[in-house]
Structure 1
Amino acid sequence: MISKQENISLFKGLSLDGASLKAYFKRIGFEGKPEINLDTLKELHNLHPQAIPFENLDPLLGTPVELTLPAVFNKMVKEGRGGFCFEQNLLFGAVLNTIGFDGVGLSARVFWEIGEGEIRPRDHMLLLLDLEGMKYILDVGFGSASFSSPLVLQQEGIQDTGDYQYRISLVSGFYYLEIRIKNSWRLMHRFGLEAQMLPDYEVVSWFLCTSPKSVFIKDLMVARSFPDGRYALYNNQFTVHKKKEKSVKKTLHSIEELTGILQEIFLIKLPENVNLNAKFQGLITPVLTTEK
Protein backbone atom coordinates (compact mmCIF):
# COMPACT_ATOMS: atom_id res chain seq x y z
CA MET A 1 0.00 0.00 0.00
CA ILE A 2 1.33 3.43 -0.98
CA SER A 3 1.87 5.73 1.97
CA LYS A 4 -0.16 8.92 1.99
CA GLN A 5 3.02 10.74 2.99
CA GLU A 6 4.32 10.27 -0.55
CA ASN A 7 1.58 12.52 -1.88
CA ILE A 8 2.27 15.45 0.41
CA SER A 9 3.93 18.40 -1.35
CA LEU A 10 7.12 19.76 0.20
CA PHE A 11 5.51 23.17 0.63
CA LYS A 12 2.05 22.28 1.91
CA GLY A 13 3.26 22.52 5.49
CA LEU A 14 5.55 25.51 4.89
CA SER A 15 3.92 28.91 5.15
CA LEU A 16 4.63 32.30 6.72
CA ASP A 17 2.42 34.35 8.98
CA GLY A 18 1.30 37.79 7.86
CA ALA A 19 4.08 39.71 9.62
CA SER A 20 6.78 37.41 8.24
CA LEU A 21 5.42 37.67 4.70
CA LYS A 22 5.48 41.48 4.97
CA ALA A 23 9.06 41.31 6.27
CA TYR A 24 10.06 39.20 3.27
CA PHE A 25 8.40 41.64 0.88
CA LYS A 26 10.28 44.51 2.53
CA ARG A 27 13.57 42.58 2.28
CA ILE A 28 13.23 42.10 -1.48
CA GLY A 29 11.52 45.42 -2.21
CA PHE A 30 8.13 44.08 -3.33
CA GLU A 31 5.51 46.81 -2.94
CA GLY A 32 2.59 45.37 -4.92
CA LYS A 33 -0.38 43.28 -3.93
CA PRO A 34 0.51 39.56 -4.07
CA GLU A 35 -1.91 37.76 -6.34
CA ILE A 36 -1.91 34.26 -7.80
CA ASN A 37 -0.93 35.29 -11.31
CA LEU A 38 2.08 35.34 -13.61
CA ASP A 39 2.82 39.04 -13.04
CA THR A 40 3.29 38.52 -9.30
CA LEU A 41 5.36 35.40 -9.90
CA LYS A 42 7.66 37.19 -12.34
CA GLU A 43 8.16 40.18 -10.07
CA LEU A 44 8.99 38.08 -7.02
CA HIS A 45 11.36 35.89 -9.05
CA ASN A 46 13.12 38.98 -10.37
CA LEU A 47 13.43 40.82 -7.05
CA HIS A 48 14.52 37.94 -4.80
CA PRO A 49 18.06 37.36 -6.22
CA GLN A 50 18.67 41.12 -6.38
CA ALA A 51 18.14 41.45 -2.62
CA ILE A 52 19.14 38.04 -1.25
CA PRO A 53 22.51 36.90 -2.61
CA PHE A 54 23.69 33.39 -3.22
CA GLU A 55 26.49 32.67 -0.73
CA ASN A 56 28.10 29.70 0.98
CA LEU A 57 29.73 31.38 3.98
CA ASP A 58 28.28 28.90 6.47
CA PRO A 59 29.67 25.74 4.81
CA LEU A 60 32.98 27.53 4.25
CA LEU A 61 33.21 28.45 7.94
CA GLY A 62 32.03 25.06 9.18
CA THR A 63 28.71 26.40 10.46
CA PRO A 64 25.83 23.88 10.17
CA VAL A 65 23.08 24.80 7.71
CA GLU A 66 19.61 24.15 9.14
CA LEU A 67 16.94 23.50 6.51
CA THR A 68 13.86 24.61 8.40
CA LEU A 69 11.66 27.54 7.45
CA PRO A 70 12.31 29.46 10.71
CA ALA A 71 16.07 29.02 10.24
CA VAL A 72 16.24 30.15 6.62
CA PHE A 73 13.78 33.00 7.27
CA ASN A 74 15.81 34.31 10.19
CA LYS A 75 19.06 34.02 8.27
CA MET A 76 18.03 35.57 4.97
CA VAL A 77 15.31 38.01 6.04
CA LYS A 78 16.07 39.07 9.62
CA GLU A 79 19.86 38.69 9.68
CA GLY A 80 20.59 40.13 6.24
CA ARG A 81 22.37 37.07 4.90
CA GLY A 82 22.11 35.02 1.72
CA GLY A 83 22.25 31.27 1.28
CA PHE A 84 22.73 28.43 -1.17
CA CYS A 85 20.10 26.74 -3.32
CA PHE A 86 18.32 24.70 -0.63
CA GLU A 87 17.90 27.72 1.64
CA GLN A 88 16.97 30.11 -1.17
CA ASN A 89 14.37 27.93 -2.85
CA LEU A 90 12.99 26.62 0.44
CA LEU A 91 12.22 30.19 1.49
CA PHE A 92 10.95 31.17 -1.96
CA GLY A 93 8.75 28.10 -2.15
CA ALA A 94 7.26 28.84 1.27
CA VAL A 95 6.50 32.41 0.20
CA LEU A 96 4.75 31.18 -2.94
CA ASN A 97 2.79 28.61 -0.96
CA THR A 98 1.70 31.28 1.52
CA ILE A 99 0.38 33.43 -1.34
CA GLY A 100 -1.48 30.42 -2.77
CA PHE A 101 0.66 29.13 -5.63
CA ASP A 102 0.83 25.37 -6.18
CA GLY A 103 4.41 24.12 -6.43
CA VAL A 104 6.79 21.26 -5.60
CA GLY A 105 10.52 20.89 -5.17
CA LEU A 106 12.70 19.10 -7.72
CA SER A 107 16.30 17.89 -7.76
CA ALA A 108 18.93 18.44 -10.47
CA ARG A 109 22.35 17.09 -11.40
CA VAL A 110 24.63 20.07 -12.07
CA PHE A 111 27.00 20.22 -15.05
CA TRP A 112 27.88 23.91 -14.70
CA GLU A 113 31.57 24.73 -14.05
CA ILE A 114 32.67 21.13 -13.41
CA GLY A 115 35.54 19.19 -14.91
CA GLU A 116 35.13 17.03 -18.00
CA GLY A 117 33.99 13.54 -17.06
CA GLU A 118 33.17 14.54 -13.48
CA ILE A 119 29.86 13.22 -12.17
CA ARG A 120 28.15 15.14 -9.41
CA PRO A 121 25.25 13.96 -7.24
CA ARG A 122 21.84 15.53 -7.72
CA ASP A 123 22.77 18.39 -5.44
CA HIS A 124 20.68 21.28 -6.72
CA MET A 125 17.16 22.28 -5.74
CA LEU A 126 14.69 24.00 -8.08
CA LEU A 127 10.94 24.44 -8.10
CA LEU A 128 8.12 23.32 -10.40
CA LEU A 129 4.92 25.35 -10.33
CA ASP A 130 1.52 24.90 -11.96
CA LEU A 131 -0.28 28.10 -12.92
CA GLU A 132 -3.27 28.53 -15.22
CA GLY A 133 -2.63 25.24 -17.01
CA MET A 134 1.08 25.90 -17.55
CA LYS A 135 4.11 24.43 -15.80
CA TYR A 136 6.96 26.75 -14.86
CA ILE A 137 10.49 26.13 -13.59
CA LEU A 138 11.63 28.52 -10.86
CA ASP A 139 15.08 28.90 -9.33
CA VAL A 140 16.40 31.78 -7.24
CA GLY A 141 19.42 29.84 -5.98
CA PHE A 142 21.76 28.94 -8.85
CA GLY A 143 24.16 31.83 -8.33
CA SER A 144 25.54 33.89 -11.20
CA ALA A 145 23.63 31.88 -13.83
CA SER A 146 20.21 32.01 -12.14
CA PHE A 147 17.42 33.05 -14.45
CA SER A 148 15.57 36.21 -13.49
CA SER A 149 12.13 35.06 -14.66
CA PRO A 150 10.18 31.78 -14.58
CA LEU A 151 10.83 29.45 -17.52
CA VAL A 152 8.06 27.51 -19.24
CA LEU A 153 8.83 23.81 -18.79
CA GLN A 154 7.53 22.46 -22.09
CA GLN A 155 8.26 25.38 -24.39
CA GLU A 156 10.48 24.53 -27.34
CA GLY A 157 13.20 26.89 -28.47
CA ILE A 158 14.80 29.90 -26.81
CA GLN A 159 13.35 31.63 -23.76
CA ASP A 160 14.70 35.15 -23.29
CA THR A 161 14.51 36.54 -19.75
CA GLY A 162 15.93 39.93 -20.70
CA ASP A 163 19.41 39.26 -19.39
CA TYR A 164 20.20 35.79 -20.73
CA GLN A 165 18.70 33.27 -23.10
CA TYR A 166 17.79 29.76 -21.96
CA ARG A 167 16.36 26.62 -23.47
CA ILE A 168 14.93 23.43 -22.01
CA SER A 169 15.16 20.14 -23.89
CA LEU A 170 13.48 16.84 -23.04
CA VAL A 171 15.73 13.83 -23.73
CA SER A 172 14.99 10.27 -22.57
CA GLY A 173 12.71 11.39 -19.76
CA PHE A 174 14.99 14.10 -18.38
CA TYR A 175 14.95 17.85 -18.90
CA TYR A 176 18.20 19.61 -19.80
CA LEU A 177 18.55 23.32 -19.04
CA GLU A 178 21.07 25.35 -21.05
CA ILE A 179 22.16 28.98 -20.94
CA ARG A 180 23.58 30.98 -23.83
CA ILE A 181 26.92 32.62 -23.01
CA LYS A 182 28.71 34.57 -25.75
CA ASN A 183 26.85 32.79 -28.55
CA SER A 184 27.61 29.38 -27.08
CA TRP A 185 25.12 27.10 -25.32
CA ARG A 186 26.32 25.71 -21.99
CA LEU A 187 24.56 22.99 -20.00
CA MET A 188 23.56 24.06 -16.49
CA HIS A 189 21.85 20.95 -15.15
CA ARG A 190 19.59 17.97 -15.80
CA PHE A 191 16.43 17.31 -13.80
CA GLY A 192 13.42 15.03 -13.62
CA LEU A 193 9.91 15.76 -12.40
CA GLU A 194 9.87 13.53 -9.31
CA ALA A 195 8.81 15.70 -6.38
CA GLN A 196 11.35 15.82 -3.55
CA MET A 197 10.71 15.93 0.18
CA LEU A 198 12.64 17.87 2.80
CA PRO A 199 14.74 14.85 3.95
CA ASP A 200 15.96 14.43 0.36
CA TYR A 201 17.45 17.91 0.49
CA GLU A 202 18.74 17.55 4.04
CA VAL A 203 20.90 14.56 3.11
CA VAL A 204 22.52 16.35 0.16
CA SER A 205 22.89 19.59 2.11
CA TRP A 206 24.74 17.74 4.85
CA PHE A 207 27.08 16.22 2.24
CA LEU A 208 27.79 19.62 0.68
CA CYS A 209 28.54 21.12 4.11
CA THR A 210 30.78 18.33 5.42
CA SER A 211 32.34 16.21 2.67
CA PRO A 212 36.01 16.84 1.78
CA LYS A 213 34.87 16.46 -1.84
CA SER A 214 32.49 19.41 -1.60
CA VAL A 215 33.48 22.71 -3.22
CA PHE A 216 31.19 24.47 -0.74
CA ILE A 217 33.66 23.96 2.11
CA LYS A 218 36.73 24.82 0.00
CA ASP A 219 35.83 27.88 -2.03
CA LEU A 220 33.89 31.08 -1.45
CA MET A 221 31.07 31.51 -3.98
CA VAL A 222 28.82 34.56 -3.95
CA ALA A 223 26.45 36.00 -6.56
CA ARG A 224 23.85 38.75 -6.70
CA SER A 225 21.70 40.04 -9.53
CA PHE A 226 21.08 43.70 -10.25
CA PRO A 227 18.78 45.25 -12.89
CA ASP A 228 21.54 45.56 -15.48
CA GLY A 229 23.56 42.43 -14.81
CA ARG A 230 25.15 40.12 -12.22
CA TYR A 231 27.89 40.35 -9.60
CA ALA A 232 29.96 37.23 -8.95
CA LEU A 233 32.70 36.41 -6.46
CA TYR A 234 34.80 33.25 -6.52
CA ASN A 235 37.30 33.29 -3.66
CA ASN A 236 39.07 36.62 -4.30
CA GLN A 237 38.06 37.01 -7.95
CA PHE A 238 35.29 39.61 -8.29
CA THR A 239 33.45 39.91 -11.62
CA VAL A 240 30.79 42.30 -12.88
CA HIS A 241 28.70 40.99 -15.76
CA LYS A 242 26.63 43.62 -17.59
CA LYS A 243 24.16 43.15 -20.39
CA LYS A 244 25.81 43.39 -23.82
CA GLU A 245 29.10 44.53 -22.27
CA LYS A 246 32.39 42.82 -21.65
CA SER A 247 32.71 41.38 -18.15
CA VAL A 248 35.02 43.26 -15.80
CA LYS A 249 37.19 41.21 -13.43
CA LYS A 250 39.14 42.32 -10.38
CA THR A 251 41.45 40.45 -8.03
CA LEU A 252 41.01 41.32 -4.35
CA HIS A 253 44.33 41.50 -2.49
CA SER A 254 43.28 42.09 1.12
CA ILE A 255 40.77 41.00 3.73
CA GLU A 256 39.52 44.59 3.82
CA GLU A 257 38.74 44.53 0.09
CA LEU A 258 37.03 41.17 0.39
CA THR A 259 34.86 42.11 3.36
CA GLY A 260 34.05 45.46 1.75
CA ILE A 261 32.80 43.79 -1.44
CA LEU A 262 30.72 41.30 0.54
CA GLN A 263 29.09 44.03 2.61
CA GLU A 264 28.72 46.84 0.08
CA ILE A 265 28.16 45.03 -3.23
CA PHE A 266 26.58 41.77 -2.10
CA LEU A 267 24.72 43.40 0.83
CA ILE A 268 25.73 40.64 3.26
CA LYS A 269 25.87 41.23 6.99
CA LEU A 270 28.87 39.08 7.80
CA PRO A 271 28.38 36.45 10.52
CA GLU A 272 30.29 36.63 13.76
CA ASN A 273 32.77 33.77 13.47
CA VAL A 274 36.22 33.50 15.02
CA ASN A 275 37.50 31.72 11.91
CA LEU A 276 36.28 34.31 9.40
CA ASN A 277 39.46 36.39 9.03
CA ALA A 278 41.71 33.33 8.90
CA LYS A 279 39.51 31.75 6.23
CA PHE A 280 39.46 34.97 4.21
CA GLN A 281 43.24 35.30 4.50
CA GLY A 282 43.54 31.82 3.06
CA LEU A 283 41.60 32.97 0.01
CA ILE A 284 43.89 35.97 -0.47
CA THR A 285 47.34 34.50 0.29
CA PRO A 286 47.71 32.09 -2.67
CA VAL A 287 47.39 34.97 -5.13
CA LEU A 288 49.88 37.13 -3.26
CA THR A 289 52.33 34.23 -3.13
CA THR A 290 52.00 33.60 -6.87
CA GLU A 291 52.60 37.21 -7.79
CA LYS A 292 55.87 37.53 -5.82
Structure 2
Amino acid sequence: MSDAIDLDAYFRRIGYDGPRAPTLETLKAIHRLQPLALPFENLDPWTGKVPALDADSLQAKMIAGRRGGYCFEMNGLLQAVLEALGYRLTSLIGRVVWNRPDGLPTPNRSHMGLRVELPEGVFLVDAAFGGNTMTGPVRLEPDLEQDTPHGKVRLIPDPHGYAVQHLVAPGDWRSTYLLGLEPQVPADFETANWWTATHPSSIFVNNLVITAVKPDGRVMLVNRNLTRRPLEGPPQSERLETAGELARALDEVFDITPPAPVESLFDRLPA
Protein backbone atom coordinates (compact mmCIF):
# COMPACT_ATOMS: atom_id res chain seq x y z
CA MET A 1 0.00 0.00 0.00
CA SER A 2 2.71 2.49 0.97
CA ASP A 3 4.38 2.40 -2.47
CA ALA A 4 1.29 3.95 -4.03
CA ILE A 5 0.88 6.83 -1.60
CA ASP A 6 1.58 10.31 -2.97
CA LEU A 7 3.29 11.85 0.05
CA ASP A 8 3.55 15.30 -1.51
CA ALA A 9 -0.20 15.40 -2.12
CA TYR A 10 -0.96 14.05 1.35
CA PHE A 11 1.22 16.64 3.05
CA ARG A 12 -0.39 19.43 1.04
CA ARG A 13 -3.80 18.13 2.09
CA ILE A 14 -2.99 18.18 5.81
CA GLY A 15 -0.82 21.31 5.68
CA TYR A 16 2.50 19.75 6.71
CA ASP A 17 5.82 21.03 5.39
CA GLY A 18 8.24 19.74 8.01
CA PRO A 19 10.89 17.00 8.11
CA ARG A 20 10.07 13.55 6.79
CA ALA A 21 12.45 11.52 8.94
CA PRO A 22 10.57 8.80 10.89
CA THR A 23 10.97 10.45 14.29
CA LEU A 24 8.64 11.01 17.22
CA GLU A 25 8.39 14.72 16.44
CA THR A 26 7.36 14.02 12.83
CA LEU A 27 4.78 11.51 14.07
CA LYS A 28 3.35 14.02 16.54
CA ALA A 29 3.02 16.67 13.85
CA ILE A 30 1.30 14.38 11.33
CA HIS A 31 -0.97 12.90 14.00
CA ARG A 32 -2.12 16.38 15.00
CA LEU A 33 -2.64 17.71 11.48
CA GLN A 34 -4.50 14.83 9.83
CA PRO A 35 -7.57 15.06 12.12
CA LEU A 36 -7.57 18.85 11.70
CA ALA A 37 -7.71 18.46 7.91
CA LEU A 38 -9.76 15.29 7.36
CA PRO A 39 -13.20 14.91 8.95
CA PHE A 40 -14.40 11.64 10.41
CA GLU A 41 -17.52 10.74 8.40
CA ASN A 42 -19.62 7.75 7.44
CA LEU A 43 -21.49 9.11 4.43
CA ASP A 44 -20.62 6.05 2.36
CA PRO A 45 -21.93 3.29 4.66
CA TRP A 46 -24.87 5.46 5.70
CA THR A 47 -25.94 5.68 2.05
CA GLY A 48 -25.36 2.00 1.33
CA LYS A 49 -21.79 1.96 0.02
CA VAL A 50 -18.97 -0.14 1.46
CA PRO A 51 -15.83 2.05 1.61
CA ALA A 52 -12.87 0.74 -0.39
CA LEU A 53 -9.63 0.39 1.58
CA ASP A 54 -7.05 0.17 -1.22
CA ALA A 55 -4.51 2.98 -1.51
CA ASP A 56 -5.86 4.40 -4.76
CA SER A 57 -9.38 4.66 -3.35
CA LEU A 58 -8.23 6.22 -0.09
CA GLN A 59 -6.22 8.85 -1.94
CA ALA A 60 -8.96 9.63 -4.45
CA LYS A 61 -11.51 10.12 -1.69
CA MET A 62 -9.56 11.84 1.09
CA ILE A 63 -6.51 13.44 -0.57
CA ALA A 64 -7.73 14.39 -4.04
CA GLY A 65 -11.38 14.62 -2.97
CA ARG A 66 -13.01 16.84 -0.39
CA ARG A 67 -14.00 13.98 1.89
CA GLY A 68 -13.01 12.22 5.07
CA GLY A 69 -13.73 8.68 6.18
CA TYR A 70 -14.18 6.43 9.16
CA CYS A 71 -11.54 4.52 11.11
CA PHE A 72 -10.57 1.87 8.56
CA GLU A 73 -10.08 4.58 5.93
CA MET A 74 -8.48 7.28 8.07
CA ASN A 75 -6.11 5.02 9.97
CA GLY A 76 -5.50 2.97 6.82
CA LEU A 77 -4.36 6.11 5.04
CA LEU A 78 -2.20 7.10 8.00
CA GLN A 79 -0.67 3.62 8.10
CA ALA A 80 0.29 3.85 4.43
CA VAL A 81 1.86 7.28 4.96
CA LEU A 82 3.84 6.17 8.01
CA GLU A 83 5.07 3.03 6.24
CA ALA A 84 6.20 5.14 3.29
CA LEU A 85 8.15 7.36 5.68
CA GLY A 86 9.94 4.35 7.17
CA TYR A 87 8.16 3.86 10.50
CA ARG A 88 8.01 0.39 12.06
CA LEU A 89 4.38 -0.31 12.82
CA THR A 90 1.74 -2.96 13.28
CA SER A 91 -1.98 -2.61 12.66
CA LEU A 92 -4.29 -3.53 15.57
CA ILE A 93 -8.04 -3.95 15.97
CA GLY A 94 -10.41 -3.33 18.86
CA ARG A 95 -13.99 -3.68 20.08
CA VAL A 96 -15.91 -0.45 20.64
CA VAL A 97 -17.51 0.06 24.08
CA TRP A 98 -18.20 3.81 23.83
CA ASN A 99 -21.83 4.57 24.70
CA ARG A 100 -22.61 0.87 24.96
CA PRO A 101 -24.84 -0.35 27.84
CA ASP A 102 -22.70 -1.25 30.85
CA GLY A 103 -19.63 -1.13 28.61
CA LEU A 104 -20.88 -4.09 26.59
CA PRO A 105 -18.59 -4.32 23.55
CA THR A 106 -19.86 -4.40 20.01
CA PRO A 107 -20.34 -7.91 18.60
CA ASN A 108 -17.67 -7.27 15.99
CA ARG A 109 -14.18 -5.84 16.25
CA SER A 110 -14.85 -2.58 14.47
CA HIS A 111 -12.04 -0.16 15.23
CA MET A 112 -8.51 0.10 13.86
CA GLY A 113 -5.40 1.38 15.63
CA LEU A 114 -1.67 1.40 14.94
CA ARG A 115 1.28 0.28 17.07
CA VAL A 116 4.38 2.32 16.21
CA GLU A 117 7.87 1.43 17.45
CA LEU A 118 10.35 4.25 18.02
CA PRO A 119 13.63 4.61 19.92
CA GLU A 120 11.66 6.48 22.59
CA GLY A 121 9.28 3.55 23.07
CA VAL A 122 6.14 1.97 21.63
CA PHE A 123 3.17 4.23 20.85
CA LEU A 124 -0.52 3.89 20.02
CA VAL A 125 -1.52 5.95 16.98
CA ASP A 126 -5.22 6.43 16.29
CA ALA A 127 -6.47 9.40 14.27
CA ALA A 128 -10.08 8.26 13.81
CA PHE A 129 -12.48 7.67 16.69
CA GLY A 130 -15.34 10.03 15.95
CA GLY A 131 -15.92 12.63 18.64
CA ASN A 132 -12.97 11.33 20.67
CA THR A 133 -10.39 11.21 17.90
CA MET A 134 -6.89 11.50 19.34
CA THR A 135 -4.64 14.26 18.04
CA GLY A 136 -1.35 12.81 19.22
CA PRO A 137 0.31 9.45 19.81
CA VAL A 138 0.29 7.98 23.32
CA ARG A 139 2.73 5.55 24.86
CA LEU A 140 1.50 1.96 24.81
CA GLU A 141 1.91 1.70 28.57
CA PRO A 142 -0.70 0.97 31.27
CA ASP A 143 -2.15 3.40 33.82
CA LEU A 144 -0.32 6.45 32.52
CA GLU A 145 -2.35 9.65 32.13
CA GLN A 146 -1.11 11.21 28.90
CA ASP A 147 -1.76 14.61 27.38
CA THR A 148 -2.69 15.11 23.74
CA PRO A 149 -3.56 18.44 22.11
CA HIS A 150 -7.26 17.65 22.57
CA GLY A 151 -7.43 15.96 25.95
CA LYS A 152 -6.04 13.28 28.23
CA VAL A 153 -5.87 9.58 27.36
CA ARG A 154 -4.91 6.53 29.39
CA LEU A 155 -4.66 2.77 28.78
CA ILE A 156 -6.09 0.37 31.36
CA PRO A 157 -5.03 -3.31 31.22
CA ASP A 158 -7.65 -5.62 29.72
CA PRO A 159 -7.54 -9.43 29.33
CA HIS A 160 -6.79 -9.03 25.61
CA GLY A 161 -4.75 -5.81 25.69
CA TYR A 162 -5.93 -2.40 26.85
CA ALA A 163 -9.09 -0.42 27.40
CA VAL A 164 -8.46 2.97 25.78
CA GLN A 165 -9.97 5.69 27.98
CA HIS A 166 -10.55 9.42 27.48
CA LEU A 167 -11.04 12.04 30.18
CA VAL A 168 -14.40 13.58 29.20
CA ALA A 169 -14.83 15.73 32.34
CA PRO A 170 -12.81 16.27 35.53
CA GLY A 171 -12.47 12.86 37.16
CA ASP A 172 -14.67 11.17 34.52
CA TRP A 173 -12.74 8.62 32.47
CA ARG A 174 -14.72 6.76 29.79
CA SER A 175 -13.61 3.69 27.85
CA THR A 176 -13.85 4.07 24.08
CA TYR A 177 -12.66 0.68 22.85
CA LEU A 178 -10.85 -2.47 23.93
CA LEU A 179 -7.61 -2.66 21.99
CA GLY A 180 -6.26 -6.09 21.10
CA LEU A 181 -2.51 -6.48 20.73
CA GLU A 182 -2.48 -9.28 18.13
CA PRO A 183 -1.10 -8.02 14.79
CA GLN A 184 -3.68 -7.79 12.01
CA VAL A 185 -3.42 -8.30 8.25
CA PRO A 186 -5.42 -6.46 5.54
CA ALA A 187 -7.95 -9.31 5.25
CA ASP A 188 -8.91 -8.76 8.90
CA PHE A 189 -9.89 -5.19 8.14
CA GLU A 190 -11.71 -6.10 4.93
CA THR A 191 -14.00 -8.35 6.97
CA ALA A 192 -14.46 -5.82 9.78
CA ASN A 193 -15.04 -3.02 7.27
CA TRP A 194 -17.74 -5.00 5.46
CA TRP A 195 -19.55 -5.79 8.73
CA THR A 196 -19.36 -2.20 9.97
CA ALA A 197 -20.64 -0.82 6.65
CA THR A 198 -23.45 -3.32 6.05
CA HIS A 199 -24.74 -4.98 9.21
CA PRO A 200 -28.28 -3.88 10.12
CA SER A 201 -27.22 -3.17 13.72
CA SER A 202 -24.17 -1.07 12.84
CA ILE A 203 -24.32 2.50 14.11
CA PHE A 204 -22.85 3.67 10.80
CA VAL A 205 -25.64 2.03 8.80
CA ASN A 206 -28.38 3.62 10.90
CA ASN A 207 -26.97 7.06 11.69
CA LEU A 208 -25.15 9.89 9.99
CA VAL A 209 -22.04 10.63 12.06
CA ILE A 210 -19.61 13.39 11.11
CA THR A 211 -17.00 14.94 13.38
CA ALA A 212 -14.29 17.53 12.92
CA VAL A 213 -11.35 18.45 15.08
CA LYS A 214 -10.79 22.19 15.35
CA PRO A 215 -7.83 24.01 16.94
CA ASP A 216 -10.10 25.09 19.81
CA GLY A 217 -12.22 21.95 20.20
CA ARG A 218 -14.46 19.54 18.31
CA VAL A 219 -17.70 19.61 16.33
CA MET A 220 -19.98 16.59 15.94
CA LEU A 221 -23.04 15.96 13.82
CA VAL A 222 -25.22 12.97 14.70
CA ASN A 223 -28.19 12.90 12.35
CA ARG A 224 -29.82 16.34 12.82
CA ASN A 225 -27.97 17.35 16.02
CA LEU A 226 -24.87 19.53 15.64
CA THR A 227 -22.78 19.93 18.80
CA ARG A 228 -19.73 22.13 19.32
CA ARG A 229 -17.43 21.06 22.15
CA PRO A 230 -14.79 23.69 22.94
CA LEU A 231 -11.67 22.67 24.83
CA GLU A 232 -12.80 25.06 27.55
CA GLY A 233 -16.43 25.67 28.41
CA PRO A 234 -19.75 23.84 27.96
CA PRO A 235 -20.90 22.27 24.68
CA GLN A 236 -23.38 24.08 22.47
CA SER A 237 -25.95 22.20 20.39
CA GLU A 238 -28.36 23.05 17.61
CA ARG A 239 -30.76 21.06 15.45
CA LEU A 240 -30.62 21.12 11.67
CA GLU A 241 -34.14 21.70 10.39
CA THR A 242 -33.64 22.00 6.64
CA ALA A 243 -31.56 20.59 3.80
CA GLY A 244 -30.00 24.03 3.44
CA GLU A 245 -28.75 23.93 7.02
CA LEU A 246 -27.25 20.50 6.40
CA ALA A 247 -25.59 21.78 3.21
CA ARG A 248 -24.03 24.70 5.09
CA ALA A 249 -22.78 22.42 7.85
CA LEU A 250 -21.16 20.03 5.37
CA ASP A 251 -19.52 22.91 3.54
CA GLU A 252 -18.59 25.41 6.23
CA VAL A 253 -18.14 23.24 9.34
CA PHE A 254 -16.85 19.93 7.97
CA ASP A 255 -15.35 20.94 4.59
CA ILE A 256 -17.10 18.08 2.80
CA THR A 257 -18.43 17.84 -0.73
CA PRO A 258 -21.34 15.39 -0.33
CA PRO A 259 -21.43 12.27 -2.53
CA ALA A 260 -25.16 12.75 -3.27
CA PRO A 261 -27.63 15.66 -3.46
CA VAL A 262 -28.00 17.17 0.00
CA GLU A 263 -31.79 17.02 -0.25
CA SER A 264 -31.65 13.24 -0.57
CA LEU A 265 -29.24 13.03 2.37
CA PHE A 266 -31.47 15.22 4.52
CA ASP A 267 -34.53 13.13 3.70
CA ARG A 268 -32.73 10.05 5.05
CA LEU A 269 -32.14 11.62 8.47
CA PRO A 270 -34.22 10.14 11.31
CA ALA A 271 -36.91 12.58 12.41
TM-score (norm 1): 0.88
AA partner of residue 124 (structure 1): H
1:89 aligns with 2:58: no
1:196 is paired with a residue whose SS is coil
Query: Is residue 142 of structure 1 aligned with residue 129 of structure 2?
Result: yes
Name the CA distance, whole Å, in 2 between partners of 1:161 and 1:235: 28
| Counterpart code for 2:213 | S
Structure 2 gaps of 5+ residues are: none
CA distance in structure 2 between the aligned counterparts of 1:59 and 1:116, rounded to whole angstroms: 27
RMSD between superposed Cα atoms in Å: 1.5
Does 1:253 find its partner at 2:241?
yes
Say if 2:35 is the partner of 1:38: no
The Cα shift of 1:133 comes to: 4.8
**1:222 alignment partner AA:** I
- Deviation at 1:173? 4.3
What secondary structure sits across from 2:101 in the alignment? coil
Kindly state the Cα deviation for residue 246 of structure 1 after the two structures are TM-superposed.
Answer: 0.7
TM-score by length of 2: 0.95
For residues 224-280 of structure 1, the C-alpha deviation after alignment (integer angstroms, 9 at most, x for no partner) is: 111111111101111111112111111110111011101111011111x36x52332
Per the alignment, residue 191 of structure 1 pairs with 179
CA contact (8 A) 1:254 1:281 kept: no
Match of 1:124 among 108, 111, 125: 111
- Alignment of 1:100 with 2:86, yes or no, is yes
CA distance in 1, matches of 2:122, 2:150: 22
Instruction: Tell me if structure 2 keeps the 8 A contact 1:164–1:179.
Output: yes
SS at the partner of 1:116?
A: helix
- Correspondence 1:224 to 2:251: no
Q: Is the 8 A contact 2:39 2:212 kept in 1?
A: yes
Q: Any gaps of 5 or more consecutive residues in structure 1?
A: 1-12, 287-292
**Correspondent of 2:161 among 166, 174, 196:** 174
Find the counterpart in structure 2 of residue 7 from structure 1. Answer: none
Following TM superposition, the consecutive aligned residue runs of length 4 or more in structure 1 with deviations greater than 6 angstroms are none
Name the CA distance, whole Å, in 2 between partners of 1:245 and 1:145.
17
The DSSP-based 3-state class of the residue aligned with 2:2 is coil
In structure 2, what is the Cα distance between the partners aligned to 1:162 and 1:47?
Answer: 11
Letter in 2 for 1:27: R
Larger Rg: 1
User: Percent identity among equivalent residues?
Assistant: 33
Quick one: which amino acid aligns to residue 157 of structure 1?
L
Closer/same/farther in 2, CA of residues 36 and 269 from structure 1, 3 Å limit:
same
Q: Which stretch of structure 1 is more off in the superposition, 141-150 or 171-180? A: 171-180
Q: 1:26 aligns with which of 12, 28, 32?
A: 12
CA shift digits 1:108-152 (9 cap, x unpaired): 011112233644111100110001151100011111101111000
Q: Which residue of 2 aligns with 1:235?
A: 223
